[in-house]
């Protein structure tokens, strides 16, 4: 177990806000930064896009709608780093305003990911969050 290296995990980070957070952490924060995606292919493309910018995020698969995927990822970070320093619980979905799916179905599908699956991430990752506090250095890059 590597207890010395800091580690940050960003869910749903192959695009959008999550990808931007990975980029910012890679630039400003001293530690291993994990870009995660439900689709390994889309994740690798995103990792390569940041590599073209000179950044070196690491990758782990994580589909928040799949309990096994959540448990596998949590076990990986516990084994490799003894926990997680930063978790950005970002992954979510949103129907387009013009989508004609019945609103009851939209509500169910949206809650399944944005509430229940996000909560499942916390159930398995919050116990791994390493203690911090006002006296803990932020490990910002110089």
Of 45 and 51, nearer to ligand NAP (C-beta) is 45
Token look-up 């990758």 returns: 59
Q: What is the DSSP string of 85-116?
A: SEEE--------TT--S-HHHHHHHHHIIIII
Assess 17 for contact with ligand NAP (CB under 6 A): yes
3-state secondary structure at position 139? coil
Pick the closest to residue 42 from 23, 63, 26 (CA basis): 63
Of 40 and 51, nearer to ligand NAP (C-beta) is 40
- Phi, psi (deg, nearest 5) at residue 100: -95, 5
Q: Which stretch binds ligand NAP (CB under 6 A): 15-23, 49-57, 79-87, 133-141?
A: 15-23
Site string for ligand NAP, 53-92 (x = CB under 6 A): ---------xxxx------------------------xxx
Q: Which of residues 95-124 bind ligand NAP (CB under 6 A)?
A: 113, 117
Distance CA 130, CA 82 (A): 8
Could you list the residues that contact ligand NAP (CB under 6 A)?
11-12, 14-18, 37-39, 42, 62-65, 90-94, 113, 117
């Amino acid at each position: 177990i590597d207890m010395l290296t800091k580690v940050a995990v960003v869910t749903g980070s192959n695009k959008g806000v999550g990808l931007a957070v990975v980029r910012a952490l890679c630039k400003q924060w001293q530690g291993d930064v994990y870009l995660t995606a439900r689709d390994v292919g889309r994740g690798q493309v995103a990792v390569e896009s940041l590599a073209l910018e000179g950044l070196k995020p690491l990758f782990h698969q994580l589909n928040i709608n799949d309990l096994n995927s959540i448990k596998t990822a949590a076990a990986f970070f516990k084994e490799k780093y003894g926990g997680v320093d930063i978790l950005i619980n970002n992954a979510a979905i949103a129907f387009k305003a013009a989508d004609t799916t019945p609103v009851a179905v939209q509500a169910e599908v949206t809650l399944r990911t944005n509430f229940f699956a996000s909560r499942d991430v916390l159930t398995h990752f919050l116990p791994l969050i390493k203690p911090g506090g006002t006296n803990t250095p932020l490990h910002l890059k110089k």
